Amino acid sequence: MTDDLETTPRSLYRNRRQVIQRLVALGLCPFAFPALGEQEAHEQDEADDSITPAASALNYNNYYEFSTNKEAVAVLAQDFTTDSWQVRIDGEVEQPVTLNLPDILALGTVQRTYRLRCVEGWSMVLPWEGVPLQALLAKVRPKATARFVRFTGTLRPEEMVNQRRPVLPWPYIEGLRLDEALHPLTLLATGLYGDPLPKQSGEPLRLLVPWKYAFKSIKAITRIELTRDQPSTSWQQQNPSEYGFYANVNPDVPHPRWSQKREARIGELRKRPTLPFNGYSTEVAHLYAGMDLAKDF
């Protein structure tokens, strides 16, 4: 069953300046915000969140299982088979299950337009369809001992040709804190631009956490495991000095090799300021109250 169109409501972020002022006045603001003049510029940029044209988005993909060449992925992924797909959900849960895609879709789909910000400095705005992850986790009933969620991608080097090379530790592993996984914005994407999820975009099931850098959005998920301990992710294993577990979009924390203050929106000529938490501060900043967002990157 598909709900009516549900996009990220502009009312949740258009009045962010007033919300921030109230939080600061109450002493509840957990991290440093830009000066108001800079925030006003951010709000103006937010008003220009036009959806990225499909022709651009579907031919510019980071999917290292197939290639490190973004333009090559759409071609190399076409022979990837996703028939009879199953996902195992287990670990620290009361009721482990194995579900196929129709089982997951039966939990109820929503449509969401999200910003996607790559750690490399480019971004898109994309119209997704999917199932809130919290609906799936409710089905398995997490135990009190569950604190994290570990996601495993596909290991199939006969089809995923770049897995024949040690580009990353394979299969691709990602992770979230349980409260992040249960957040209403966290989505298991099953569709894009009104169609089923394309192969180059992670068919049939991709994670979306819109306030984090896009490498957290693991594709072609085969297992979701609830754990007591924080999982070690593929990019952390590959280069822990550059890629942290949280990977929250933060313009004030540069990548060791480049600034994160601005981003190149695909299809635009000029760069725009990057927003804290990718523009979703109002919805998610409370998850990180008391944390050092420069240290816990």
Q: What is the pLDDT of residues 69-87, one digit of tens each?
A: 999 999 999 999 999 999 9
* pTM attached to this predicted model: 0.85
CB atoms within 10 A of CB 169: 14
Tell me how far apart the alpha carbons of residues 232 and 237 are, in angstroms, rounded to a whole number: 7
Torsion of CA 26, 27, 32, 37, to 10 degrees: 30
Q: Are 196 and 148 in contact (CB under 8 A)?
A: no
Q: CA angle, 76 as apex, 50 and 149 as ends, to 5°?
A: 65
Quote the CA–CA distance of 110 and 128 in Å, as a whole number: 8
Helices (H) and strands (E) in the chain, counts: 9, 12
* C-alpha to C-alpha distance for 228 and 67, rounded to whole angstroms: 33
Task: State the amino acid at position 292 in one-letter form.
Answer: D
Rg of the Cα atoms in the chain: 19
Whether residue 274 is predicted with pLDDT greater than 80 in this model: the reply is yes
Only one residue has tokens 């009361």, namely 94
C-alpha 202/C-alpha 77 separation (Å) is: 9
- Number of CB atoms found within 10 A of residue 108's CB: 12
Q: CA 260 to CA 16: how far, in whole Å?
A: 21
pLDDT classification of 119: cutoffs 50, 70, 90: very high
Q: How confident is the model at residue 296 (pLDDT cuts 50, 70, 90)?
A: confident
- Between CA 190 and CA 193, with CA 192 as vertex, the angle to 5 degrees is 150
Q: Helices 16-26 and 36-46 sit at what angle, rounded to 10 degrees? A: 140
pLDDT at site 29: 36
Q: Going from the N-terminus, what domains does the chain have, and what CATH number goes with each?
A: 50-270 (3.90.420.10)
- Summarised one tens digit per residue, pLDDT across range 138-177 is 999 999 999 999 999 999 999 999 999 999 999 999 999 9
- Give residue 130's pLDDT: 98
Which pLDDT value is given to residue 54?
A: 98
pLDDT digits (tens, 9 = 90+) for 23-43: 333 333 333 333 333 343 344
User: Are the C-beta atoms of 199 and 220 separated by less than 8 Å?
Assistant: no
User: According to the model, what pLDDT value does residue 1 have?
Assistant: 40
